[in-house]
Structure 1
């Protein structure tokens, strides 16, 4: 057997081997399976350790359960040390040809490539095989950088791929894993922890903290510093800390520059802007731009930033003063993104609406707060929505024990029930 095939055999589903397929994430696998049966490249993107590899294996297993022969699937995970020989697109092409020679699959071949961006010029092989009309292939790839499908690459693959952004576990997935009932107590527990899959295999807080720190260090070092020749690694990490500790706050690049200059740091607007862009590219942080509700246009300047997972706050930087309302807002943002909405911060005259969520013809305006604890809070949250003149959905979301009655067409919703109305 070819040495390269011998190296990857243990990672593949050939024969009667059993694998750990992890927690079944139907919300992703069902969407992906719906797109099977064509030449579109299926692209899973998301931060490291969010569960992309498990989802790929689950899709492969479902194909086999539905009748695809195991030898017609090929799994390549570039992160494994056994595959260090896989450096360029030529190496990838040779590996696929060697696999076909050794296993002699008949019919369509399903190729799964994990962390494909590590392979230099991978797109040449992926594009070639996906469009090969002499043989039949279906390609599934994952990546941990949002720029992997930008610029010239997007042009090369134009119209030939469909992408799925993978997030850490949602609240509903958290309930299934922990066996808890839906409600305030479990939502608070979810908010107090994190949703990265491997966290649930660790019992001690110190182990969880070390794990989250290792992910952060790996992303900053391998995915940003080494790839972009960062001149000031300490500034990069300090910017990440700043964004985590100011998540859900409206901030600008200029305000961040002012903050660091106030600490005696020599920084420039361009450096701060570039470093934030690199962090966004790795999915650790999400930018939420402002949207003029009346003018129906995106506004430049200030924006909000949200964490991809609250674990970065809860385990790494818990000492910074942080209200529960900001955590709730962050979770609502992520839930909207999981549901496929484009999300903005709403601006209407002198008022701010926490979220304008848009998907196709549907628009939802959402105000988020920890508790509607008094009349002034109720008035503040509802008045922002009442100032909007159109008839799209308007919702106030909180963690109150009871829901308030409908007010002028505005619904009050408990945060743990949000997912049901987003379907």
Structure 2
């Protein structure tokens, strides 16, 4: 199996090596957390670390089931630590260990323990974690493969547009690249990943058995990628379609789906008032291919699928990503990071003058001088500058060839 180099994630681990901080990697199941640990361990071995200095436990491996009791886990690790050397301790999918923080805390106070942990639940790895390990950890949020990473894993020679079509029709989960020439196999694999996340990380966490209702909600969200919606609107729409549900239940299920990292919520940001708005938000899938799996409709709404791809890429590049709200209109994405704001408008094509005018108008109405971008799939005049608004070919931008 070809392993995709993911330098941003590797550089995070290298940057904090031997620092007195717990390194946490969170991310949806099968996004590559265990693989990045493997690659990092290879890096350590090639830079003077001896095999006996590395302790690795994956709690999804039945061989380690007995270590899900925290006292047993602590004894196991202590018995294998080298007294006079730094020990690199990797605890994969640690959410399976009740009271895991007691083990991690005990290791944290030792000078010769460098601890790395992963988890697949956003609530567990962000909400609970902030309380359990306050001030003692750094967190890296992982996503499945970016378009750039996916392209590196392709074996067939393809044009840029063909690579993009393969990306949105296949899957961004790393292992799916093994089936790039076998669409049924990709679909079966993707279905397995989806069902595992839904059952183990969503329904079980919520203590809910209403699989049909949560599935209906996921299908609704998949069909409405990039649309402003509220729990009340979702409840009314689903009830009208024969799936009776109230807005409080919708809110509960939405939180469960966000916690399992199946979906992401982009809140609205008042560009003029410079504040977050509480009503209505947009939702995006962790893998755009889930849309095809859930509603089997890849031929339509390609603009919102592109929007989904861009949203995830902006998350990868860091910062908070919002939907920009204007008195008259909307900007697809407003990104805030390191005191800087960026504005992004996403469109399949702006070759028609009326479409170009429509897409530029929201950006033109923003009074500040922060960077503004128009991202399109246009191959004819892919780049332009409209009074400071930079038009870029979105595929080259995704490849970071034109960032």
Asked if TM exceeds 0.5, the reply is yes
CA contact (8 A) 2:4 2:149 kept: no
Which of 384, 400, 406 is the aligned partner of 2:385? 406
Paired residues for 1:193-204 under 5 Å? 193-202=170-179, 203-204=181-182
Partner of 1:325: 303
Alpha-carbon separation, structure 2, partners of 1:124 and 1:182 = 52
TM-fit CA distance, 1:283: 1.1
Q: Is the 1:339–1:422 Cα contact (8 Å) retained in structure 2?
A: no
Q: TM-score, normalised by structure 1?
A: 0.90
Aligned to 1:145: 121
Could you say which residue in structure 2 is the equivalent of 1:17? none
Cα deviation, 1:27-75, whole Å, max 9, x if unaligned, reads 2111221111212111111100000000011111111111011110011
Whole-angstrom CA distance in 2 between matches of 1:21 and 1:199: 11
Equivalent-residue separation in structure 2 for 1:349 and 1:329 (angstroms): 22
Identify the residue that residue 128 of structure 1 maps to in structure 2: 106
User: How do 1:152-171 and structure 2 match up within 5 A?
Assistant: 153-171=129-147
SS at match of 1:406: strand
Instruction: Say how many residue pairs are matched.
Output: 399
Superposed displacement of residue 194, structure 1: 1.8
1:267 and 2:226 equivalent? Answer: no
1:184, 1:401 within 8 Å by CA — same for their partners in 2?
no
- Looking at structure 2, the residues matched to 380 and 370 of structure 1 have their Cα atoms a distance apart, in angstroms, of 13
What is the aligned partner in structure 1 of residue 85 from structure 2?
A: 107
CA shift for structure 1 position 404? 4.6
State yes or no: 1:177 paired with 2:140.
no
1:69 equivalent in alignment to 2:50: yes
Check the 8 A contact 1:243/1:305 in 2, yes or no.
yes
**Alpha-carbon distance, 1:192 to partner:** 2.6
Is contact 2:205–2:256 with CA below 8 Å preserved after alignment?
no
> Does the 8 Å contact 2:5/2:149 carry over to 1?
no
Aligned ranges for residues 12-411 of structure 1 at < 5 Å? Answer: 22-100=3-81, 104=82, 106-132=84-110, 135-151=111-127, 153-178=129-154, 180=157, 183-202=160-179, 203-319=181-297, 322-402=300-380, 403-411=382-390
The farther-off stretch of 260-269 and 158-167 is 260-269
3-state SS of paired residue (1:164): strand
Structure 1: 4+ residue segments shifted above 6 A? none
The CA distance in 2 between the partners of 1:421 and 1:385, in whole Å, is 23
**Residues 353-394 of structure 1 deviation map (CA, whole Å, 9 limit, x = unaligned):** 000011112211110011114111101100110000000111
Aligned to 2:378, what secondary structure does the other structure show? coil
Query: How much has 1:183 moved relative to structure 2?
Result: 3.0
Provide the C-alpha distance between the structure 2 equivalents of 1:51 and 1:347, rounded to a whole number of angstroms.
35
CA distance in 1: counterparts of 2:402 and 2:122, whole angstroms: 25
Cα contact 1:43–1:162 (8 A) shared by 2: yes
TM superposition shift of 1:340: 0.8
Of residues 187-196 and 378-387 in structure 1, the stretch that sits farther from structure 2 once superposed is 187-196
Judge conservation of contact 1:71–1:105 (CA < 8 Å) in 2: no
- Whether the 8 Å contact between 1:345 and 1:356 is mirrored in structure 2 is yes
Give the direction of change, closer, same or farther, for the CA distance of 1:123–1:168 in structure 2 (3 Å limit). same
1:224-262 Cα shifts (integer Å, max 9, x gaps): 222321142211111112112211111111111001211
Please give the alpha-carbon distance, in whole angstroms, between the structure 2 residues aligned to 1:97 and 1:344: 45
CA distance in 1, matches of 2:294, 2:239: 24
Q: What CA distance in whole angstroms lies between the structure 2 residues aligned with 1:283 and 1:150?
A: 12
2: CA distance, partners of 1:346 / 1:339: 18
Farther-moved stretch of structure 1 (145-154 vs 350-359): 145-154
Q: Which piece of structure 1 moves more, 357-366 or 312-321?
A: 312-321
Provide Cα deviations, 1:154-190, integer angstroms capped at 9, x if missing partner. Answer: 1331111111111111111122111557733322332
**Greater CA drift, 234-243 or 380-389:** 234-243
Q: Distance in 1 between matches of 2:66 and 2:101?
A: 18
CA pair 70-157 structure 1, distance change in 2 beyond 3 A:
same
**Kept in 1: contact 2:229–2:281 (CA 8 A):** yes
